[in-house]
Each structure stands twice: as C-alpha cells, then as structure tokens.
C-alpha cells in the first residue's frame, strides 16, 4: 500500500491516515508478544496508538513520561466518577426512606440507574488505574 492509497482510504472512510494503522479492534485479545515486529513486548494498545499518532516515542524515558501522564489523567477521571457517585448517593439520601421505598417511581429509578452507572464507571477507572500503575512500575524496573 502506498501513502497515496492510505490517504485515499482515510478520506473515503472520513478519518485520518494516522487512525487507520492505529485501529485495534476493542475485542482483540492481548497478544503473547509484541503487536508488531521490532516493538517492545510490553507496548499495549493505548501506547501503540499514541506512538503511531506521534504522542510518544518508544524510547524508555518518553514511555515513562507517557504512562505518568496517563496515570494522572486516570486519577482525575476516577476522582470525577467518585464525586459524581457521591453526589448521586447524597441525592438519594435527600429523597428519604419513603421515596426509596417507592423504588419504581421514575425519579428514584433514574437515580438508581445513575448510581449503578457511576459505580461501574468508578470500578472501570480503578481497574485502569491499577493496570497503569502496574505497567508503569514494570517500565521503571526495566530502566
């Protein structure tokens, strides 16, 4: 494939040429080794995408910096989800026991859905934080 082909395909698909080689299906399992020949074996999908898009290099210090920035962003996201969840809990408490007993009432049900969504988002953020801290630790150990 030529660069011209890549540009034409990206245009037709209403995307950018950088997105095409960085597209990794969300349900693709983690490979046993590197994603591509010559890449470090510990490069994951997010880091690969960042490298292809020019947001990081594969030099160790650049990778450590990229993971530190990712960790900081995930901490902010987790704090936001925690704040949203605590706000929803407070709203539920303000409604009082009679409202909670009427759990099929639309406002209470919507609030309970919001709480479930918030708990899920917070759980996902905590998992992403733990994985990122683990990857960053491994990368620092290799230095």
CA–CA gap between residue 114 and residue 123 (Å, rounded): 14
- Confirm whether 14 is domain-assigned: no
Most confident of 20-29, 93-102, 134-143: 134-143
Positive or negative: CA dihedral 127, 132, 133, 139: positive
Q: What is the pLDDT of residues 126-141, one digit of tens each?
A: 999 999 999 899 888 8
- Binned at pLDDT 50, 70 and 90, residue 43 comes out as confident
Positive or negative: CA dihedral 94, 100, 106, 109: positive
Residue 99 has pLDDT above 60, yes or no: no
- Confirm whether 104 is domain-assigned: yes
Q: What mean pLDDT do residues 103-116 have?
A: 77
pLDDT attached to residue 129: 92
Q: What mean pLDDT do residues 49-68 have?
A: 89
- Confirm whether 61 is domain-assigned: yes
Q: What is the domain count for the chain?
A: 1
Residue 61 has pLDDT above 60, yes or no: yes
Q: What mean pLDDT do residues 80-108 have?
A: 77
Q: What is the pLDDT of residues 64-91, one digit of tens each?
A: 999 999 999 999 999 999 999 999 888 8
Query: The domain containing residue 121 runs over which residues?
Result: 50-141
CA–CA gap between residue 110 and residue 92 (Å, rounded): 11
- Choose between 26 and 17: higher pLDDT: 17
- Confirm whether 74 is domain-assigned: yes
CATH number of the domain to which 98 belongs: 1.10.287
| 80 φ, ψ (degrees, to nearest 5) | -65, -45
Contacts of 51 (CB under 8 A, 6+ apart): 43, 57, 58
CA distances from 131 to 20, 32, 34, 50, 89 (A): 26, 17, 18, 17, 27
The predicted model scores a pTM of: 0.67
pLDDT attached to residue 83: 93
CA–CA gap between residue 118 and residue 139 (Å, rounded): 31
């Amino acid at each position: 494939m030529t660069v011209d082909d890549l540009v034409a395909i990206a245009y037709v698909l209403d995307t950018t040429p950088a997105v095409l080689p960085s597209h990794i299906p969300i349900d693709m399992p983690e490979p046993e080794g590197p994603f591509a020949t010559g890449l470090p074996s510990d490069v994951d999908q997010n880091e690969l995408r960042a490298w292809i898009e020019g947001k990081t290099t594969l030099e160790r210090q650049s990778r450590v910096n990229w993971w530190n920035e990712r960790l900081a962003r995930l901490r902010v996201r987790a704090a936001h989800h925690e704040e949203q969840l605590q706000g929803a809990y407070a709203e539920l408490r303000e409604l009082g026991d009679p409202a909670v007993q009427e759990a099929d009432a639309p406002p209470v049900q919507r609030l309970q859905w919001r709480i479930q969504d918030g708990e899920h988002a917070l759980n996902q953020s905590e998992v992403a934080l733990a994985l990122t801290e683990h990857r960053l630790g491994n990368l620092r150990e290799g230095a």
